[in-house]
């Protein structure tokens, strides 16, 4: 984030995330760890080993959006949405200290990276979308809910769809930008109101030239592709996306409650209670579980990226550092025979592994996530405790019934579906110093286990108010992550339970293969005593620890940035312009 730097423990943790590659720690220089040979690109590019310090600087430093100081005009391009295209002649301008003049068109399936920039393709990233995107086209043609069943009742779809019906597709002119919410490495995020409605959105606006210059078009494209594929209560909904000559725009769900970092700092002692931390960690865990099932390794978990919705539940945001990879969902079931003898006697389930018939995440996820959304697909814990077999996919119910029959009515472990992309490998140096996993720092190559490491750091920070390996500077921090043992603050003795510490210890194992969840993913974490009693399926219906005050534009912190004064003016070419000021 460029607007405010977080300070913690006397130091600052710049909001930017690292995006370097081929990082080598000179282990011989203990105490002065040298990070060298960095690369700009994400996801495992190969060449250009040294040239990326500039990118580190840009990702760590303040980036000023061109929106702040430029007045830009772009002509309206033919509109398209889904696989069809239409045209419109409307355009818009935003004037004032932050002004844009321009219009956009829905970009449909346009490849962001095609327009410029010389990017090497990410070798470790296999993109699910290859020119056509079912999510976008179904949203465009069906309106809403078609591909995002959990959001079908969301009124915001109606406004979006009404515009599509009336004008063909959406562009900048359809939105009133009310205030800037923040800016990240690749763009600025604005609170935007859909004209003619009272619907608010978060619009991420990225300057195409800047992206191309900094070779970040591919990141923007990855983020869009991932957002398009998501349908989960704790992940953002992408309502639409479009582009003008100058900008790429993502129109997402707006979270009015700020981020978890800010919320934590408002807590007594600047840390959450264990109960609150459990709630937030549980929701994040479900989001990560879903992402892994979709073949996405998130890689940038930190409280700053966890936004709080108006109802107090959370939303994990910011996917521009994520890795997309192939995933092969697997059904793991305990063998009935084994669980009757060997496995049971030994007190451990015996697993056999078989592939799920359809290995496509798009096929598997809807059927397993089903009507409860956040349900971890087939958590035995959930089923045994909740006795809600009807929520399970039918193939699971059949197995359960069969097993119960064999076991004479006793409850046996149920199959678990998991899709931990354990084979994913990236060499990129991605993340935020205090959250970087050791394998990333060492340049060993990394996979989904990095998310479980960051989950451990995240939980630690929620509970103790600081991260465990923070050093006096970034290098010291990296050194600590790799070489220092995990310690808990003595001052917190007695305040944080043994279960919480034990979970953190399991997650912050430096060797990724020995890390908790590295084999069966989130299911291993969910079964940990720290989460005992959590109703995974219905957590989104439970009361959050804190519900933010209803959002108003005039609220402290927003008033300075808000002076929305829309005025209509006309354009020499006859196009209709909508001018407004903000800031
Ligand atoms: N959906 C949203 N609702 C409300 N605020 C948002 C939303 N998305 C982003 N923001 C705000 O905008 C800021 C910028 O977000 P963005 O995702 O572009 O970057 P970032 O997370 O700060 O940084 P980076 O992309 O470099 O990691 C965030 O810090 C957050 O404060």
**Residues 505 and 530: beta-carbon distance below 8 Å:** no
Amino acid 475: pLDDT: 92
- The C-alpha atoms of residue 125 and residue 311 are separated, in whole angstroms, by 35
Amino acid 332: pLDDT: 62
Work out the number of other CB atoms within 10 angstroms of the CB of residue 419: 25
Amino acid 87: pLDDT: 30
Q: Which residue among 231, 300, 320, 451 is the active-site one? A: 300
Instruction: Give the predicted TM-score (pTM) of the model.
Output: 0.66
Give me the phi and psi of 400, to 5 degrees please. -65, -45
- The C-alpha atoms of residue 102 and residue 340 are separated, in whole angstroms, by 68
Residue 167 annotated in active site: no
Amino acid 560: pLDDT: 34
- Nearest-atom index, ligand 1, CA of 188: 18
Ligand 1 center to 86 CA (angstroms): 32
Measuring from atom 16 of ligand 1, which residue has the nearest CA?
Answer: 184
Pocket flag, ligand 1, residue 318 (CB < 6 Å): yes
User: Per-10-residue mean pLDDT for the chain, 583 residues long?
Assistant: 37 49 35 28 29 27 32 26 30 32 47 36 28 33 49 81 89 95 92 93 96 94 95 95 95 96 96 97 97 93 96 96 79 48 36 29 29 27 27 37 46 56 58 89 88 98 97 94 96 88 98 93 96 95 93 53 29 26 28
Q: ipTM, 2 decimals?
A: 0.97
Pocket flag, ligand 1, residue 254 (CB < 6 Å): yes
Amino acid 467: pLDDT: 97
Ligand 1 pocket test: which of 184, 199, 315, 558 has the largest number of ligand atoms within 8 Å of its C-beta? 184
Amino acid 17: pLDDT: 56
Pocket flag, ligand 1, residue 250 (CB < 6 Å): no
- The C-alpha atoms of residue 3 and residue 165 are separated, in whole angstroms, by 38
Measuring from atom 19 of ligand 1, which residue has the nearest CA?
Answer: 184
Amino acid 477: pLDDT: 95
Ligand 1 pocket test: which of 318, 320, 558, 561 has the largest number of ligand atoms within 8 Å of its C-beta? 318
Amino acid 505: pLDDT: 98
Pocket flag, ligand 1, residue 307 (CB < 6 Å): yes
- The C-alpha atoms of residue 280 and residue 269 are separated, in whole angstroms, by 18
Pocket flag, ligand 1, residue 225 (CB < 6 Å): no
- The C-alpha atoms of residue 222 and residue 193 are separated, in whole angstroms, by 25
Please enumerate in sequence order all residues whose Cβ is within 8 A of that of 481, keeping only pairs 6 or more positions apart, or say none: 434, 436, 437, 438, 441, 469
Amino acid 339: pLDDT: 39
What does the DSSP assignment read for 144-183? SSSS-GGGTT-HHHHHHHHHHHHHSS--GGGEEEEEEEEE
CA dihedral 251, 252, 257, 258 (to 10 degrees): -70
Q: Which token pair is 561?
A: 């940035």
Measuring from atom 2 of ligand 1, which residue has the nearest CA?
Answer: 254
Helix (H, G, I), strand (E, B) or coil at 180: strand
């Amino acid at each position: 984030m460029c607007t405010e730097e977080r300070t913690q423990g006397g130091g600052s943790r710049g909001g930017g995330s690292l995006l370097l590659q081929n990082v080598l720690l000179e282990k011989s220089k203990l105490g002065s760890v040298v990070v060298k040979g960095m690369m700009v690109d994400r996801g495992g590019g190969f060449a250009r080993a040294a040239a990326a310090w500039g990118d580190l600087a840009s990702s760590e430093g303040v980036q000023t959006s061109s929106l702040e100081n430029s007045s830009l005009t772009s002509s309206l391009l033919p509109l398209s949405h889904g696989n069809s295209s239409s045209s419109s002649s409307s355009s818009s301008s935003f004037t004032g200290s932050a002004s844009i003049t321009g219009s956009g068109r829905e970009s449909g399936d346009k490849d962001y990276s095609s327009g410029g920039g010389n990017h090497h393709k990410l070798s470790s990233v296999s993109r699910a979308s290859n020119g056509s995107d079912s999510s976008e086209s179904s949203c465009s043609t069906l309106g809403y809910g078609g591909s995002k069943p959990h959001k079908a009742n969301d009124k915001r779809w109606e406004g979006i769809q009404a515009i599509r019906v009336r004008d063909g597709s959406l562009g900048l002119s359809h939105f009133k930008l009310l205030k800037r919410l923040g800016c990240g490495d690749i763009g600025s995020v604005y609170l935007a109101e859909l004209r003619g409605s009272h619907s608010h959105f978060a619009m991420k606006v990225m300057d195409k030239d800047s992206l191309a210059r900094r070779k970040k078009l591919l990141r923007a494209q990855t983020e869009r592709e991932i957002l398009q594929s998501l349908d989960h209560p704790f992940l953002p909904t992408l309502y639409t996306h479009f582009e003008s000559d100058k900008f790429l725009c993502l129109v997402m769900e707006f979270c009015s409650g700020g981020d978890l970092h800010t919320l934590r700092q408002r807590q007594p002692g600047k840390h959450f209670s264990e109960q609150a931390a459990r709630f937030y960690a549980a929701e994040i865990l479900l989001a990560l579980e879903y992402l892994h099932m979709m073949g996405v390794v998130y890689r940038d978990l930190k409280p700053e990226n966890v936004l709080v919705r108006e109802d107090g539940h959370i939303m994990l945001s910011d996917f521009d550092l994520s890795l997309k990879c192939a995933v092969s969902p697997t059904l793991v079931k305990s063998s009935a025979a084994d669980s009757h003898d060997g496995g049971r006697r030994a007190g451990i389930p015996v697993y056999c592994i078989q592939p799920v018939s359809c290995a496509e995440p798009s096929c598997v996820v809807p059927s397993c996530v089903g009507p409860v959304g956040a349900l971890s697909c087939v958590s035995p814990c959930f089923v045994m405790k909740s006795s809600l077999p009807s929520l399970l996919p039918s193939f699971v119910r059949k197995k359960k019934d069969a097993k119960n029959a064999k076991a004479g009515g006793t409850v046996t472990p149920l199959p678990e579906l998991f899709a931990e992309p354990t084979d994913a490998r990236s060499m990129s140096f991605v993340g935020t110093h205090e959250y970087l996993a050791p394998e990333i720092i060492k340049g060993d190559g990394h996979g989904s286990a990095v998310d479980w490491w960051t989950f451990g750091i995240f939980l630690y920070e929620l509970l103790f108010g600081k991260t465990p390996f923070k050093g006096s500077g970034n290098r010291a921090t990296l050194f600590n992550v790799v070489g220092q043992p995990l310690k808990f603050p003595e001052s917190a003795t007695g305040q944080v339970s043994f279960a919480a510490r034990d979970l953190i210890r399991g997650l912050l194992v430096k060797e990724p293969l020995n890390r908790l969840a590295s084999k069966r993913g989130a299911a291993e974490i969910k079964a940990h005593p720290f989460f005992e009693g959590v109703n995974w399926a219905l957590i989104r219906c439970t009361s959050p620890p804190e519900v933010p005050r209803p959002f108003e534009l005039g609220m402290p912190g927003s008033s300075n940035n808000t002076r929305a004064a829309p005025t209509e003016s006309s354009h020499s070419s006859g196009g209709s312009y909508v001018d407004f000021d903000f800031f």
